[in-house]
Amino acid sequence: MAKKQTVLAGKRKLELSNLDKILYPGDGIVKAEVLQYYVTIAPYMLRYVRGRPLSLVRFPDGIEGEQFFQKNRPDWVPEWLHSVKLGDIDYMLAEEDAAVVFLANLAALEFHQMQMRPSVSQDADYMVFDLDPPENSNFEIVRDLALNLRPYLESLGYHVFVKTTGGKGLHLIMPLLPHSYDIVFEAAKAAAIDFASRNKGVTLEIKKERRAQNILLDVYRNRSGQTIVSPFSLRGKPGAPVSMPLSWEDLERARSPLDYNLRNAYDLIRQGDPWEGMYAHTAVPHNARAKLAPVTAELETYKKKRSFDKTPEPAPASSAATGQSFVLHRHHASHLHYDLRLEQDGALTSWAVPRGLPPRPGIKRLAVHTENHPIEYLTFEGKIPKGQYGAGEMWIFARGQYEITKQKKDGFYFRTHAEGLHGEYRMIHTRDKEWLMERLDEEPRLDFEPMLATQTETVPSGDMIFEVKWDGIRALVFIEDGQITIRSRNGRDITAAFPEIAVPDSYHASSAVLDGEIVCLDGSGRPVFQNVIRRLQNGANKKLEQKFPAFIYLFDVLSLDGKRTLKDPLHLRRAWVQDLIRSGGAVRFSQSYPDGQALFDAAKEHGLEGIMAKSPDSPYVLGRRSTSWVKIKVRSTMDCVIIGYTEGEGGREKLGSVHVAEKTESGLHYVGKVGSGFSDEDINDLSARLATMEIEKPTVKVPKVEKGTWVEASLVCEVEYASKTRDGMLREPVFIRLRPDL
């Protein structure tokens, strides 16, 4: 391994050193692995670290060597690494990816942060409860305490988030509108004393010898100058544990803080950040809540444009300011646009943004300043009647809190905190009512992989919506400022094969990631799988395009016009999909139906593949199977990987059967041989392919009694079967077709 290497961290090149130095001896983890971790995790970490004074714990000779705290900014660090002076200490700040990586290169394994961001306020903007269990206790007792403490804190009006400390305890974090440390500490202490008086096994006693076997409910972290370990920070302990943000469901399943470490934290967080949009849920400390005085703002223009006996929009009332709230509406009036509204001086300062928020740095969007709206508009959505000002459908697209991060002569910078919309933007005033909106930071990269469904034999009951299961190929459509890319389920670019779908005018969207199924239909409107496969395999082909026109039935959206929509409920995502499709082209909406059994019976009668059942409130889970989506097929089928074959006898010498395996989360699992269903064309095609793929041993565990010629596990086929045995073997399997799209 090279001892030095130059890497790109964000927009800066950094020289990293001593890459082969062992920092975690018991785990064989070298500095290169630590730096790789911080390179990948930095965009997520910055959501919670940016702008906060940092104290670092450095381990220059690894976790078994000397360690020391570093607070002051050394003179020799680069000028771009920002700092803030508090008293006699010049604290370092991590404002960009490069800062996190630079500090990690100093063998700063641990990042510890304050509760304030001085550029915004020197008051605390969250409350923390540090749950510290007694020595030699198991993790379950502190986990159970956190689960019990959560509803108590929620009863006080807080939204509670949880993370491991990377040690044996947990941190409960409650985001706040900035308040003085004294107020926050007194609120935390009063809540802790009240909770401890009602629950055994809890203490506020700091001295260990006085705690007995009680869990310390440490609220003293809320005092000025105190720190907690930062989210996603490593700890200098065996196993390289991480201070990991968790969902409450994750916590219920957790068995040990070491479940979250350097080697799995990034893969886990790529599935979704459970803390995303944390600061959309800010509260006022419960000991500081008082009725705020109403603020009178300029709303005459708003009132003059509306007849409140004809529109459902709210009339201005004597509303008090609620803080630094914002809302982004998706508004399909005469033209589709977005309305950005920031709470300022008791009203919502508003801009119409025709093409949506810029999705990444380097893109600017026009924003037209409009009239102020009342505070009540933060929660308004609905349909404005025809003939009224702004007539059309209006959805709340995103809502949360924002903060002004910098004021300029020609505008300002601000940061949003909302699920799916967590970013920093610049507003530039150009002339009259016209502004330009620019995104400054990059969203953490996601691998957009299609969500997968589980399979069942019966139509589920309950609160579900039902769709036709289209017999085609799954595809994601990526839209970026007029450029469209279509990718198959395995990530292959198939745009050239389906040009009629890659037409920008088919979509009301400037940027999006859409999910759907590409089909070719016969004269009666039934999908013909073989025809869409012909299109796929032949690429750009005008004759096939005319003979077998393709359509895509869209049913979901993963990202839209600057916002990631993964955590929005399915019923909202589907409404936005339907709204963004322009009629008349090859792009269609996959309709849903309320009666699943009736739809299944109709699918069976018309020879369709089956139906889908989906929970209307479900989020979109990238690349994984979910019980929120269920497929019910007219016939039981499975996608299998061919791992070998046997030679035929008599009239079918080329191919007797194929050995197949099922792909599971733990790898490939052998499910048996398939010896029927092959056409002459299938036999000739498979024989030619498999002959070039032979290997000595099977790639999966196969019963000793099974003989054959083994091949690379790369060809996928669809198999119909009657049922499964207890050990997962297929009964009466029949070959249906190859799946080159998989």
Q: Which of 122-136, 277-291, 583-597 has the lowest mean pLDDT?
A: 277-291
**What is the Cα 539 distance to its own chain's centre?**
32
Q: Which pLDDT belongs to residue 293? A: 46
CB atoms within 10 A of CB 679: 10
> Which has more confidence, 741 or 396?
396
Q: CA geometry: angle at 398 spanning 395 and 401, to 5°?
A: 135
Do the beta carbons of residue 489 and residue 450 sit within 8 Å? yes
Average pLDDT, the chain: 91
Q: Which pLDDT belongs to residue 367? A: 97
Do the beta carbons of residue 682 and residue 688 sit within 8 Å? no
Label each residue of 549-605 as H, E or C. Answer: CEEEEEEEEEEECCEECCCCCHHHHHHHHHHHECCCCCEEECCEECCHHHHHHHHHH
Type and span of the H or E element at 102? helix 97-105
Q: Which of 469, 563, 633, 673 is catalytic?
A: 469
623's CB contacts (< 8 A; 6+ apart) are 447, 449, 450, 451, 452
Do the beta carbons of residue 365 and residue 355 sit within 8 Å? yes
Asked if residue 37 has pLDDT above 80, the reply is yes
Do the beta carbons of residue 639 and residue 715 sit within 8 Å? no
Q: Which pLDDT belongs to residue 446? A: 86
Asked if residue 501 has pLDDT above 90, the reply is yes
Mean pLDDT on 151-164: 96
Q: 428: number of CA atoms within 13 Å, CB side?
A: 10
Percent of the chain with pLDDT over 70: 97
Alpha-carbon span 467 to 555, nearest angstrom: 9
Q: How confident is the model at residue 294 (pLDDT cuts 50, 70, 90)?
A: low
- Longest CA span, the chain: 92
Q: Mapping DSSP to helix (H, G, I), strand (E, B) and coil, where does residue 438 land?
A: strand
Q: How confident is the model at residue 120 (pLDDT cuts 50, 70, 90)?
A: confident
What's the token pair of residue 486? Answer: 């279509």
Alpha-carbon span 692 to 715, nearest angstrom: 12
CB atoms within 10 A of CB 50: 20
Q: Mapping DSSP to helix (H, G, I), strand (E, B) and coil, where does residue 32 land?
A: helix
**469 part of the active site:** yes
Q: What is the DSSP string of 113-168?
A: E-S-BTTTBSSEEEEEEEEEPPTT--HHHHHHHHHHHHHHHHHTT---EEEE-SSS
Q: 166: number of CA atoms within 13 Å, CB side?
A: 24
Domains identified in the chain and CATH numbers? 4-113 (3.90.920.10), 124-280 (3.90.920.10), 300-403+434-439 (no CATH), 452-633 (3.30.470.30), 637-738 (2.40.50.140)
Q: What is the DSSP letter of 242?
A: B
Q: What is the pLDDT of residues 631-686, one digit of tens each?
A: 998 887 889 999 999 987 755 567 889 999 998 878 899 999 998 888 888 888 89
Q: Which pLDDT belongs to residue 291? A: 55
Q: Which pLDDT belongs to residue 617? A: 94
Q: Mapping DSSP to helix (H, G, I), strand (E, B) and coil, where does residue 439 land?
A: strand
